[in-house]
Every structure is written in structure tokens, then in C-alpha cells.
């Protein structure tokens, strides 16, 4: 069982994104409905089960573990899990432990995350305008997030912002956000809005702002140089010659990145999604819970799931509708 995880298209799977909760203290308009019905807490994997699940993946060759949600830092006692994962960093089996967060809890947890071996984090932030921030997050408070960024950098964490490109919302902040990051030594990645979940009256097609257009706008003021490097995820990076910072582009709609996909996503209930943009999944809970003293069935269940990983997703807005939309919310799968 020591062979690496290889999917049917000869891609090595060495990156696991794990949602530890579907709950969040924000209600971002492209991610959740305002009045969400969350999973009963009893349905979630316990922290001990999350440890066993992630440890099994690491034993099968996963080198990068990203913790997501919902908002991962609102889960009770979540630092217990981060501290448990430190042993895999210490052994060298795990190369990177990181997380994606909305930043609301960083003021509380930044030092603890750094102590657990987290070296870099992604913070989702789409606007620096307090009124617009309140509108896009519905429940969020921008000053709290900005204090969290300060705390993270003070703790020695490398911070990268993730901004969802929303037409008619943050087009006018493209350069403002870039300059904000450059002044603080942070990189930024822009992401095309993805058609996931029933979010009420929000217009997916009307929100869509292509990364081709984002880049073309940036090039009216900046000289951009393409970079070959990768952070292990789907972003393509450029260097801004005027500032030296990196800007990334994630393009699930205008140019999918499936040919190099090295990742799978596990929900907080133990469902493994081999592709963000497909509905098929494998429920790993029976193999986890029915064999408490034996990891072999869980290892085999993981291998069986990877053997069904599809070639790619089929998100498409070109026909002026959100084709390829999947029914689950991003908060369920993990950002």
C-alpha cells in the first residue's frame, strides 16, 4: 500500500484540501445563501477522525494539506488538530500545512498557527471598502479582518490574498488591492466566480469577470512577466515588474487547469470529491468508522476513489447561463 496515488490520467495526487466545518461567520454572496441550514454537528468527523483520515492520506503520499471550511477557525478546538498535524511536518512526511481563511479569527489564532508549523496562509478578501465588504460578506466586519492580517504578519506567517473577481463590484479596486498587497509584502490571486450552490437571487453570469479581462486591465499600468513557478494549486502567476509582487490568476471558466490537477477535496463529513466541478464523490466514512483498528480498508477506499477521478470539470458561462453548476455550496466542499 506504499505506492503513490495516481489517477486514471497519470496525475500524481499529492495535495489534499480538507474542510473541517461547513459553518462560517460570514455569508459571502458567491458562496452561501444568507439563511443557511448547516449540518448537524454529530454528522461531522471528530477531530480524532480528521487526524486519522489526514494521516492516512499522508501515508499514501500527500505532501500538502490545506485546511478549509466554511471558516476553519470557527470550529471548536481546531488548534488541537493543527498541533496533531505538526508531527507529520516534523517527520518530513508532510511538506506543507496551511489554511484558507476569511481572516476573522486570525487575531486570536495567528501565533498558535505559526507555532503548529503553518508558514503561509490564504486570506479571502474581495474589497477594501468597508460598506462593500459588509455587503458582499453580509455579516462581515472589515476592521476585524485587517487586524487579523496584521496579527498574521506579526506572527511571521506569509499572507496571500484571494480575491474573487466580481463584475460591477470590485472592478474599480483592481489596482487598489494590488497596491495594498505590494505595500505589505503580500501577493494576491484573482479567482473567477464559480457556479456552485443555490445562492438565492445572485446572478452568476452577471458576476462573471474573466481573468483575461483582469489581466488586460492590469497591463494598462503594470508590466507583467509570466512565471513558471507553482504553489501546488491551480493559479498561474505573473510578476509585477514595478513592485516585484506576484499576482495569480485562477481560471476555472476561461481556461481550465485540469491537465495539471494534483488535488482532491474532502468534506467535513468524510466525503471525497475528486473534482470541484463534478458531483461524483466517495464516502470514506464507512471505511473509517467500521474498521477502527485497521487502516487498510480506508487506504483501499481512498485508492478506489482516486481511480475514478475525472479528467476535468465543465464550468461554462459562454451560453449566458451557469452551465456545469453543481448543487452543493462551496462551503460544503471546502474553498
* Residue set of the binding site: 17, 24, 28, 30-31, 66, 70, 100, 124, 160, 194, 258, 261, 263-265, 275
161 neighbors 188 (Cβ within 8 angstroms): yes
Positions at the binding site for [4Fe-4S] cluster: 24, 28, 31, 258, 261, 275
Report H helices in 13-105: 47-59, 78-91
Positions at the binding site for GTP: 17, 66, 100, 160, 263-265
Task: Name beta bridge partners: 272.
Answer: 266, 282
Q: What are phi and psi of 14, to 5 degrees?
A: -130, 15
For residue 289, give the C-alpha cell.
468508522
Distance of CA 225 to the CA centre of its chain: 25
Q: How far is it, in rounded angstroms, from Cα 335 to Cα 322?
A: 19
207 neighbors 195 (Cβ within 8 angstroms): no
Q: How far is it, in rounded angstroms, from Cα 104 to Cα 143?
A: 9
For residue 15, give the C-alpha cell.
495535495
At a CB cut-off of 8 Å and minimum separation 6, what does 320 contact?
Answer: 205
At a CB cut-off of 8 Å and minimum separation 6, what does 331 contact?
Answer: 19, 22, 23, 24, 31, 32, 36, 69, 70, 197
Amino acid at each position: 500500500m506504499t505506492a503513490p496515488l495516481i489517477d486514471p490520467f497519470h496525475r500524481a495526487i499529492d495535495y489534499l484540501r480538507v474542510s473541517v466545518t461547513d459553518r462560517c461567520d460570514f455569508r459571502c454572496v458567491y458562496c452561501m445563501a444568507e439563511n443557511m441550514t448547516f449540518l448537524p454537528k454529530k454528522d461531522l468527523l471528530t477531530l480524532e477522525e480528521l487526524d486519522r483520515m489526514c494521516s492516512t492520506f499522508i501515508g499514501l503520499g500527500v505532501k500538502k494539506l490545506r485546511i478549509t471550511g466554511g471558516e476553519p477557525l470557527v470550529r471548536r478546538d481546531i488548534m488541537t488538530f493543527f498541533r496533531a498535524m505538526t508531527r507529520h511536518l516534523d517527520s518530513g512526511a508532510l511538506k506543507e500545512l496551511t489554511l484558507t481563511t476569511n481572516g476573522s479569527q486570525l487575531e486570536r489564532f495567528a501565533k498558535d498557527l505559526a507555532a503548529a508549523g503553518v508558514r503561509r496562509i490564504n486570506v479571502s478578501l474581495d474589497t477594501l471598502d468597508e460598506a462593500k465588504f459588509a455587503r458582499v460578506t453580509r455579516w462581515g466586519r472589515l476592521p476585524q479582518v485587517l487586524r487579523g492580517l496584521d496579527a498574521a504578519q506579526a506572527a511571521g506567517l506569509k499572507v496571500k490574498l484571494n480575491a474573487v473577481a466580481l463584475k460591477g463590484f470590485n472592478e474599480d479596486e483592481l489596482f487598489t488591492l494590488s497596491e495594498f498587497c505590494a505595500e505589505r509584502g503580500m501577493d494576491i490571486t484573482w479567482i473567477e466566480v464559480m457556479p456552485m450552490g443555490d445562492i438565492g437571487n445572485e446572478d452568476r453570469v452577471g458576476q462573471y469577470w474573466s481573468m483575461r479581462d483582469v489581466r488586460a486591465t492590469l497591463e494598462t499600468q503594470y508590466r507583467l512577466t509570466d512565471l513558471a513557478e507553482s504553489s501546488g494549486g491551480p493559479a498561474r502567476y505573473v510578476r509585477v515588474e514595478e513592485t516585484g509582487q506576484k499576482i495569480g490568476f485562477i481560471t476555472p471558466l476561461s481556461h481550465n487547469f485540469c491537465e495539471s490537477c494534483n488535488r482532491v477535496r474532502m468534506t467535513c463529513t468524510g466525503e471525497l470529491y475528486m473534482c470541484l466541478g463534478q458531483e461524483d464523490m466517495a464516502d470514506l466514512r464507512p471505511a473509517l468508522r467500521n474498521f477502527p483498528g485497521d487502516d487498510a480498508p480506508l487506504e483501499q477506499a481512498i485508492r478506489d476513489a482516486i481511480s475514478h477521478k475525472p479528467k476535468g470539470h465543465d464550468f461554462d458561462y459562454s451560453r449566458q447561463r451557469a452551465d456545469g453548476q453543481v448543487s452543493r455550496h462551496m462551503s460544503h466542499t471546502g474553498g
